[in-house]
């Protein structure tokens, strides 16, 4: 079946959020299956395949089960794609309605911080987390609907784990979350 | 999410099988997720969408998890599509490799017997059974890959039930199976 | 641009016509661009690409400019595809509305006669004739819409030739046409 | 067949050219069929349909027969799409190889000048000129390959007109051309 993995997930480092009234954190999404789609607005494979797939996922699944997040990981053409205004126009024209964040720039027109932490190979990339926040898929390039649907369906069907003391103690603020020690040391 | 249902499944009534060394029964597939695709070889929606989707499913999932079955439910143009030879040529030309059966004719060029028992509305139709043999999807028309993948992924992830005494005692022969009483009365 | 050729065209040898009140002949279509699509009903490339393309051509061009003809060239699975009834059901289910003919069988379940005379390599094949009845494209396999459209547009734009004495003298009956000597000896 | 028209064509007013060693003028392209594709880089229909179609046209036809030109007509999101650098990155990422121009801004973030002169209704738009520089198609929205191919094939097949004295005398510079009087008064 779908190639899966189990690994800890670093916190998102985000410069700005669109399509959400307040910043989102992975910590706060524990208990949901999370589909993180990393893209660039000038990446043809993202525009033709990855973003429409993410939008369909967002519309298909109940929000209490699956959270679809976009991550604009600008690692080239910074002057063109790097502004908040540029992404806002893109989101408007492509009618994207799921929460989308701008990956925090590294300050030197290099690879942004979340993309570095996730060791993404490029765009489009998909990272899928189970309800416990563990990475179950880490994929570069296009992935077909049947395979992705099967993985998400499986993860939605898994029993929701009880909240541990460590998770309950994890601290989050608007910019991200401090990972609980159990996950950070995994 | 995907519209699902839970209902008992009648036994298949089959005139002939292709792509399998011996006849299959739903009883013997207990413990697998079963995807039954009902089609006709002169049905454009089956040829363009349903059968390629079934073939992809067959190639994607491990056979010990998901069994994909075709059911040729000839309810029109019997003289053209009704022969075993016609379906054999079709299967060969379309490179279909999953097990495919001919629904048992009613003897009067009407709706064949399994199609009647399943109350299918036409072709293409999909019936998806969980590992306990219960109907979880009963769908007429095209269904997209993401939705179907999600359902199958969820059903694959469900805990496999222990074999009951009733199931162990269920009798099958080459033409089909006598349903165990627990299912038959559901 | 499109690979083209100029060669004489043999007459069609046809066992039966559908979607036309009376048999058609290439001779009678002189002055039209003729697009002949050779197919088999169990040929996946014909069903998914060639026949929908032929149907779109038929709907797009004025009948006094372009004549789209289908030719069912059964060279395998004769018992399944060879009957008039089988093709009639297929035409009905796929909603094909352009004139379609059955290529005359050779009497021994081999390659039918028009297919032999045209030296077609298989199905789908396209043969495009200009307004003078000369072969301008002889193509095996799929051909894209842009390329085919460009050729047809070019041929439609060519000046219509005056009818020669030889053409005026050519004899046709319901089963086909005797080629005028100028063409037959080309 | 394809909806066509015959009208005079205003000169292009262009701020910058890509993919060409020197600025192009419609005057200098007299004798070619010209396909002008007006687009915006944040227009989904341009990205998914119009630009790939223009690229295919550019690759299919001989350059001495058909000239495919892009025109970036920014009439919204000027701050995002309006820079030369943004379009350069877009052209690079989408691997576009035909000559592309930036429509001359009106100076007030409104509709740029060529778009105004051509009375385009939006993007994507196609304007097709025959070998004499007359407008033969003026189309807003997607147009299918078969229809567009047929028109271009027809125009390519038309006899190339002799160069008139008026054309020979027409003056062009880097920013465009003064239309010869015969065309300007048509």
pLDDT in tens, B135-174: 999 999 999 999 999 999 999 999 766 555 544 444 333 3
Q: Do B86 and C80 touch (CB under 8 A)?
A: yes
Spell out which residues of chain B touch residue C39, defining contact as CB-CB under 8 Å. none
* ipTM tops the 0.90 cut: no
Q: Do B47 and C47 touch (CB under 8 A)?
A: yes
Q: Do C48 and B48 touch (CB under 8 A)?
A: yes
CA distance C38 to chain D (A): 19
Q: Do D48 and A43 touch (CB under 8 A)?
A: no
Spell out which residues of chain C touch residue B85, defining contact as CB-CB under 8 Å. 79-80
Strand, coil or helix: B18: strand
Statement: residue D131 has pLDDT above 60: yes
Higher pLDDT, C5 or A42: A42
**C6 — pLDDT class (breaks 50, 70, 90):** low
Statement: residue A167 has pLDDT above 70: no
pLDDT at D164: 52
Strand, coil or helix: B19: coil
CA distance C65 to chain D (A): 9
Please count the residue pairs, one from chain C and one from chain D, whose beta carbons lie less than 8 angstroms apart. Answer: 79
* pLDDT average, residue stretch C18-26: 97
Percent of chain C with pLDDT over 70: 82
**D161 — pLDDT class (breaks 50, 70, 90):** low
pLDDT at C162: 59
Residue in C with minimal Cα distance to D159? C158
A161 CB-side CA count, 13 A: 16
Statement: residue C168 has pLDDT above 50: no
Mean pLDDT (chain A) is 87
Among B65, B146, B155, the residue with its CB nearest the CB of A149 is: B146
pLDDT at B159: 75
pLDDT in tens, A72-121: 999 999 999 999 999 999 999 999 999 999 999 999 999 999 999 999 99
Interface probe with A: pick from B153, B156, B158, most Cβ of A within 10 Å: B153
Interface probe with C: pick from B79, B87, B89, B92, most Cβ of C within 10 Å: B89
Pairing mode, if any, of strands A66-72 and A100-103?
parallel
User: Distance (Å, rounded) from C-alpha C30 to C-alpha D58?
Assistant: 33
Contact predicate D10/D113, CB 8 Å? no
Spell out which residues of chain A touch residue B65, defining contact as CB-CB under 8 Å. 1
Strand, coil or helix: A39: strand
* Contact flag for C and B (3+ C-beta pairs < 8 Å): yes
Contact predicate C61/D153, CB 8 Å? no
pTM for this model (two decimals) = 0.83
User: Distance (Å, rounded) from C-alpha B66 to C-alpha B150?
Assistant: 13
pLDDT at A2: 37
* pLDDT average, residue stretch B39-58: 98
């Amino acid at each position: 079946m779908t190639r899966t993995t189990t690994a800890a997930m670093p916190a998102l480092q985000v410069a700005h959020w669109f399509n959400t009234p307040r910043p989102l954190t992975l910590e706060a999404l524990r208990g949901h299956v999370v589909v993180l789609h990393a893209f660039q607005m000038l990446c043809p494979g993202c525009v033709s395949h990855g973003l429409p797939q993410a939008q369909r996922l967002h519309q298909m699944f109940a929000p209490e089960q699956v959270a679809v997040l976009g991550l604009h990981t600008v690692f080239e053409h910074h002057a063109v794609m790097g502004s908040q205004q540029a992404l806002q126009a893109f989101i408007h024209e492509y009618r994207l309605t799921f929460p989308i964040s701008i990956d925090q720039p590294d300050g030197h027109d290099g690879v942004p911080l979340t993309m570095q932490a996730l060791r993404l190979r490029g765009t489009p990339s998909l990272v899928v987390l189970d309800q416990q926040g563990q990475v179950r898929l880490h994929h570069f390039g296009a992935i077909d609907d049947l395979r992705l649907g099967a993985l998400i369906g499986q993860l939605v069907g898994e029993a929701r784990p009880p909240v541990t003391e460590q998770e309950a103690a994890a601290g989050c603020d608007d910019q991200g979350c401090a990972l609980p020690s159990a996950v950070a040391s995994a």
